[in-house]
């Protein structure tokens, strides 16, 4: 049962030899991450891994590198760079996790910045999303790792995602939401698709024959294996008949042998159909057995290897993601020696936060994180004084205490001891095992707890690192189960005796319960959490039930006084320059729920406004995966959008602030001035289970153009430390063979430093029987490292995709006869040159 031998297997021969029971086993997962093996026929198992690349265990997980989030990657507008990091970093990481498939990329459309997982998707535009996805997939698969593109399709919000019904027109489905998947299929052919959680026009995507059979396999001729997203199957026979090959994971699955056999006897299924689904899984296993033999035939052990080349690549990519949004009087880059800067204030709730990614499935156990504060301080020359103040809190839940705990022996982390219960449900004194862990956010599952009794108790013990001053400290304890927090032996939080039902830990855990304690300077206070995998009674639900996937999270932070914002402003006033680091984090943007507004947390806006009033030389660094409102924009001198940048966050921010890297990022989504300007405003959330995509084709910048609304920062926008001049755009004669038009434009660096520029091509379709957006992105290319005074001529090819729209009467793509306008510019609203070309004869097409 090796990959090496199965790489040459005759799939049809294997399928013919499968018993019905073996075929059924192949179409559902094993455990959380694996496919089934069939030892009798030499079929090996393969493992998949969540985006990240996360390890296979939820408790004491394998360390991992964290790259910038998808919106950050899209902000590079550089497909070559995205392909490079997928090939050179992500693919090796997947293999280090003993796996063969990465559950990525996500290429849903950023329909609204409120979407909890918006940061996981590339952009609001289908063309940019599709080409970024294709680059990501090609990078992974060129290195022998399978890509699983997701979520197929219209999974654009989190609230009620398992039952929400995305109601949208045929044109919007094709031109906006399916379009990036279609581009990725044409240019990269992903090995796998993962279906969305939601319904599409009344039918769940995991059992939707139009989506899986007619479009994916019929029109697009895709040979990809189709799996469910985790727990995203809601039927047995309908999902199998519709074309869903693999149900994931094994837990609470539908495709149990006995149930499938009942469907067979009732003629709801046929063995032929089951074997068709199994054959798709086998083809994937064979494909990966050829390209990833050493992993499939390996020992299955996960590992992490920190390499200098990976760190350098992550730093380079992260810096390329950053978008310079404002630079009044060229306050950036910061040149302390030239500007006479002797004292810098670093302020803000995100300055010292170890923030690498958004939350939910995207969160990993980071091997390391360089904070903005550490990156900036390291980048400063000697002799510059630094003053720091948090200013205000920016978190939703109390920050995790991963870096603030030590064991009795002084090692990082705390000791987790697992205790079984006897037959009378009493704790047995001797622990099953005790291990050191370095996380305070833990799913209490995995091998560590495998030898314990069905009901068990876990005790976490450690010491808080000594404080520099006396502090009033607020702890927060969240559990799926029940828990108590003790500080120096004193009960501080009781989330055990009576509980409140909540939606933490993927919808099953309690809300965060708070308690406060006075911490003394120079004292290593003792911290203990007692946890049990049995939930406590709650109002209206008194049952003390055993929980299926228990979890515990401990956080804490100093209680900031009311005057903290004014204290920060005083520090800023006394400095030559103030850098304010603000934004969201993985609590605000996460899988499982959507944001309710676009505001920065708590008193953040007040903080920025007061800092800017105190010091006109204020630069703001914002970290978020999607849009936030910025009412203080006119008050600050400098502003950069830093997204979630991964492990090298602080170094990348410093590289841009100090001019080591000339920023070249461009916005992959529109930042609105207010929530009411967002195209889906008023109909984003489910209404009786239905989500009406009433903005139709007018998503993102297309809606702002259509409604004549000026955004805060438009799609495609981004400044540089140099300037660029565009030449006159020219188009070639139309080639009618498979339709193509060559577009040429020159770009000149008219500034004093080398820089890169993402050149964007927008096309306007002629007026016809159907309406169209005013203009649509149809090509882009990045001019890289153009020296001062130098010019480069860029050529784009517009193909049939650039001139076509979906005709919902004939159900085909159509291009009309008429005049097409080509606009080339530096953003969706900054057109530098335009021209036209003619399509002499209308045409239609189908497929890819």
Provide CB contacts within 8 A for 54, sequence distance 6+.
Answer: 61, 64, 97, 361, 364, 365
SS (HEC) of 56-91? CCCCCCCCECCCCCHHHHHHCCCHHHHHHHHHHHHH
Alpha carbons 667 and 824: distance in angstroms, whole number: 16
Yes or no: say if 88 and 307 are a contact pair by the CB < 8 Å rule: no
Return the axis-axis angle of helices 372-379 and 649-657, rounded to nearest 10°. Answer: 40
CA quadruple 775, 781, 782, 783: dihedral sign = negative
β-strand pairing of 638-641 with 724-726: unpaired
- CA nearest to 838, candidates 816, 812, 823, 807: 816
| Residue 257 CA neighbour count, 13 Å, CB half | 7
- CA nearest to 125, candidates 730, 778, 785, 790: 778
Catalytic-labelled residue, pool 229, 594, 655, 696: 229
Task: Give Rg (Cα) of the chain.
Answer: 27
Yes or no: say if 79 and 138 are a contact pair by the CB < 8 Å rule: no
Active site includes 229? yes
- CA nearest to 181, candidates 79, 109, 90, 102: 109
Alpha carbons 605 and 609: distance in angstroms, whole number: 6
- CA nearest to 59, candidates 508, 585, 552, 419: 552
Q: Which helix (H) or strand (E) segment is 416 a member of? A: strand 414-420
Q: In 3-state terms, what secondary structure has residue 198? A: coil
Strand runs labelled E in 421-470: 433-437, 441-443, 456-464
C-alpha triplet 718, 353, 556: angle, nearest 5°:
145
Alpha carbons 745 and 792: distance in angstroms, whole number: 8
Read out DSSP for 506-574?
HHTBPPPEEEEEEEPBT---EEEEEEESBPPPBTTB---PBPSS-EEEEEEEE---TTHHHHHHHHHHT
Encode 247-268: b = buried (16+ Cβ within 10 Å), e = exposed: bbbbeebbbeeeebeebbeeee
**Which residues are known to be catalytic?**
229
């Amino acid at each position: 049962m090796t990959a090496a031998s199965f790489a040459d297997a005759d799939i049809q021969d294997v399928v013919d030899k499968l018993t019905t029971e073996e075929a059924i086993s192949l179409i559902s997962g094993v455990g959380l991450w694996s496919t089934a093996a069939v030892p009798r026929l030499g079929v090996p198992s393969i493992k998949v891994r969540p985006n990240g690349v996360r390890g296979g265990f939820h408790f004491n997980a394998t360390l991992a590198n964290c790259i910038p989030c998808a919106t950050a990657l899209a902000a590079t507008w550089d497909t070559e760079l995205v392909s490079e990091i997928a090939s050179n970093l992500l693919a090796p990481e997947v293999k280090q996790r003993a796996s063969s498939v990465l559950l990525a990329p996500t290429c849903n459309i950023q329909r609204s910045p409120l979407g909890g997982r918006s940061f996981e998707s590339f952009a609001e535009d289908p063309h940019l999303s599709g080409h970024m996805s294709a680059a990501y997939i090609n990078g992974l698969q060129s290195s022998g790792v399978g890509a699983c593109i997701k979520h197929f399709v219209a999974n654009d919000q989190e609230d009620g995602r398992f039952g929400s019904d995305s109601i949208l027109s045929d044109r919007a489905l094709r031109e906006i939401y399916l379009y990036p998947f279609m581009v990725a299929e044409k240019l990269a052919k992903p090995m796998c698709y993962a279906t969305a959680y939601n319904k599409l026009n009344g039918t769940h995507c995991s059992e939707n024959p139009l989506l899986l059979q007619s479009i994916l396999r019929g029109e697009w001729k895709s040979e990809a294996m189709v799996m469910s997203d985790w727990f995203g199957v809601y039927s047995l026979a309908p999902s199998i008949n519709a074309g869903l090959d693999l149900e994931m994971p094994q837990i609470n699955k539908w495709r149990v042998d006995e149930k499938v056999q009942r469907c067979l006897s009732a003629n709801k299924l046929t063995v032929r159909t089951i074997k068709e689904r199994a054959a798709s899984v086998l083809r994937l296993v064979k494909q990966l057995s050829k390209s990833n033999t050493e992993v499939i035939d390996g020992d299955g052990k996960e590992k992490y290897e920190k390499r200098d080349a990976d760190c350098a690549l992550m730093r380079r990519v992260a810096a390329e993601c950053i978008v310079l949004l404002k630079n009044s009087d060229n306050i950036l880059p910061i040149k302390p020696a030239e500007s006479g800067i002797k004292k810098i204030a670093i302020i803000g709730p995100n300055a010292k936060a170890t923030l690498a990614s958004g939350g939910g499935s995207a969160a990993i156990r980071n091997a390391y994180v360089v904070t903005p504060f550490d990156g900036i301080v390291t980048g400063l020359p000697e002799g510059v004084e630094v003053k720091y103040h948090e200013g205000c809190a920016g978190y939703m839940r109390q920050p995790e205490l991963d870096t603030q705990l030590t064991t009795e022996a002084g090692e990082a982390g705390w000791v987790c001891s697992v205790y079984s219960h006897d037959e009378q449900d009493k704790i047995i004194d001797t622990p099953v095992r005790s291990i050191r862990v370095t996380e305070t956010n833990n799913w209490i599952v995995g091998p560590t707890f495998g030898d314990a009794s069905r009901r068990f108790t876990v005790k976490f013990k450690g010491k808080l690192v000594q404080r520099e001053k006396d502090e009033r400290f607020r702890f927060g304890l969240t559990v799926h189960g029940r828990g108590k927090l003790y500080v120096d032996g004193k009960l501080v939080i009781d989330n055990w005796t009576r509980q409140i039902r909540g939606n933490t830990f993927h919808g099953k855990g309690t809300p965060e319960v708070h308690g406060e304690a006075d911490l003394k300077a120079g004292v290593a206070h003792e911290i203990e959490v007692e946890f049990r995998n049995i939930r406590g009674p709650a109002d209206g639900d008194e049952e003390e039930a055993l929980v299926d996937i228990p979890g515990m999270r401990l956080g804490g932070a100093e209680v900031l006084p009311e005057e903290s914002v004014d204290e920060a402003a005083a520090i800023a006033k006394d400095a030559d320059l103030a850098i304010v680091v603000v934004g969201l984090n993985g609590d605000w943007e996460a899988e499982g729920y959507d944001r309710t507004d676009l505001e920065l947390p708590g008193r953040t806006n007040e903080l920025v406004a007061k800092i800017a009033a105190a010091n006109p030389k204020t630069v703001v660094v914002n970290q978020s995966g999607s849009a936030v409102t910025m009412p203080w924009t006119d008050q600050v001198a400098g502003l950069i959008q830093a997204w979630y940048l991964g492990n090298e966050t602080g170094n990348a921010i410093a590289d841009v602030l100090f001019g080591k890297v000339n920023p070249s990022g461009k916005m992959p989504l529109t930042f609105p001035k207010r929530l009411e300007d967002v195209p889906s405003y008023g109909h984003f959330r489910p209404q009786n289970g239905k989500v009406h995509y009433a903005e139709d084709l007018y998503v993102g910048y297309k809606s702002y153009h259509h409604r004549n609304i000026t955004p805060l920062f438009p799609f495609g926008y981004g400044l540089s430390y140099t300037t660029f001049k565009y030449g006159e755009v020219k188009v070639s004669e139309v080639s009618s063979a498979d339709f193509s038009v060559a577009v040429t434009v020159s770009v000149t660096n008219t500034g004093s430093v080398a820089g890169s520029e993402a050149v964007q091509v927008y096309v306007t379709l002629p007026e016809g029987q159907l309406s169209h957006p005013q203009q649509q992105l149809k090509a882009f290319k990045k001019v890289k490292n153009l020296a001062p005074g130098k010019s480069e001529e860029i050529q784009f090819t517009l193909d049939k995709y650039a001139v076509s729209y979906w005709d919902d009467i004939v159900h085909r793509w159509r291009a009309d006869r008429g005049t097409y306008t080509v606009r080339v510019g530096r953003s969706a609203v900054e057109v530098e040159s335009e021209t036209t070309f003619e399509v002499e004869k209308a045409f239609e097409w189908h497929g890819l």
